[in-house]
């Protein structure tokens, strides 16, 4: 096995992951993703390029700002590693065009998942980006438009039905409208059958996570997933972008 292409795509993916960290930090705050340059929110010092190298800078600096010694969140290397691995796997398995589009769509999902976990928000700009990648994939012949249509239909209709049933029995909104938008692009990408499997697994793991949290922290029928204290703790001090 030739490891050079795998290592190369991992490095490229980790660099893209560094940009994903910018999106994760700035999109919920409605800040520009282009300016200002990356800076430490503690001392507000601009981070030079040689101290902003994906993975390398974090470990060389022991996870701290080189200027003020403030801690840098483990989110940054973790997102870079995950995205690098995803890109390496995509380019190892698929032909270049399919690999590139799959890797980009996966990066969108990683960003959406992380923002949703930290803020319980799903930025519309990322949904639109996902739609653009899907449209390009259809024109490139990688996705069949009929499957895209029915997958999107399933991705919207099933969560809407779940939301309606939840409200009918509990008088509470079980999920947000951002989840419906996420179901739209995820269903369009996966197709109807895989989307139904994905929804089943999501519901199953969600129930298991809720039960586990309830065992540890006590039963609370109004507890959201992710736990609401994640949203309360999402402050500027834990990020570097």
Residue 73, burial from CB neighbour count under 10 angstroms (0-12, 13-18, 19+): middle
Residue with more model confidence, 103 or 46: 103
Q: Confidence band (pLDDT; 50, 70, 90) for 52?
A: confident
Q: What is the pLDDT of residues 134-156, one digit of tens each?
A: 999 999 999 999 999 999 999 99
Mapped onto helix, strand or coil, the DSSP state of residue 108 is helix
Cis ω for the linkage preceding 36 (within 30 of 0): yes
pLDDT tier for residue 14 given thresholds of 50, 70 and 90: very high
The torsion region of residue 201 among left (phi > 0), alpha (psi -120 to 50) and beta comes to: alpha
- pTM beyond 0.85: no
Return the pLDDT at 147: 95
Angle at which helix 192-217 crosses helix 177-190, to 10 degrees, equals 140
Confidence of residue 158 (pLDDT cuts 50, 70, 90): confident
Q: What is the pLDDT of residue 1?
A: 64
Helices (H), 27-69: 56-60
**How many angstroms separate the CA atoms of 225 and 192, rounded?**
25
Contact 72, 38 (CB under 8 A): no
C-alpha to C-alpha distances, 81 to 109, 115, 236, nearest whole angstrom: 15, 17, 22
Report, in this order, helix, strand and coil percent for the chain, each rounded to 5: 70, 0, 30
Do 195 and 202 form a contact (C-beta atoms < 8 A)? no
In this predicted structure, the answer to whether residue 67 has a pLDDT above a threshold of 90 is no
Sort 211 into a burial class: Cβ within 10 Å, 0-12 / 13-18 / 19+. exposed
């Amino acid at each position: 096995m030739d490891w050079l292409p795998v290592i190369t795509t991992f490095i490229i993916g980790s660099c893209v992951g560094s940009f994903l960290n910018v999106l994760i930090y700035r999109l919920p705050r409605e800040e520009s993703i282009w300016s200002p340059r990356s800076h430490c929110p503690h001392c507000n010092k601009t981070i030079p390029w040689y101290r902003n190298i994906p993975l390398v800078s974090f470990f060389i600096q022991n996870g701290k700002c080189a200027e003020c010694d403030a801690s840098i969140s483990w989110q940054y290397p973790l997102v870079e590693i995950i995205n690098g691995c995803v890109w390496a796997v995509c380019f190892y398995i698929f032909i270049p065009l399919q690999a590139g589009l799959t890797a980009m769509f996966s990066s969108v999902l990683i960003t959406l998942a992380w923002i949703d976990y930290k803020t319980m928000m799903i930025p519309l700009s990322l949904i639109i980006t996902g739609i653009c990648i899907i449209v390009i994939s259809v024109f490139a012949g990688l996705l069949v438009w009929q499957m895209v249509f029915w997958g999107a239909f399933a991705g919207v209709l099933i969560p809407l039905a779940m939301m309606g049933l939840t409200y009918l029995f509990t008088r509470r909104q079980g999920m947000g409208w951002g989840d419906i938008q996420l179901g739209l692009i995820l269903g369009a990408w996966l197709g109807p059958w895989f989307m139904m499997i994905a929804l089943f697994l999501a519901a199953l793991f969600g129930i298991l996570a809720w039960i586990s949290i309830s065992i540890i922290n006590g039963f609370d029928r109004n507890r959201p997933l992710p736990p609401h204290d994640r949203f309360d703790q999402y402050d500027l001090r834990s990020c570097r972008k």
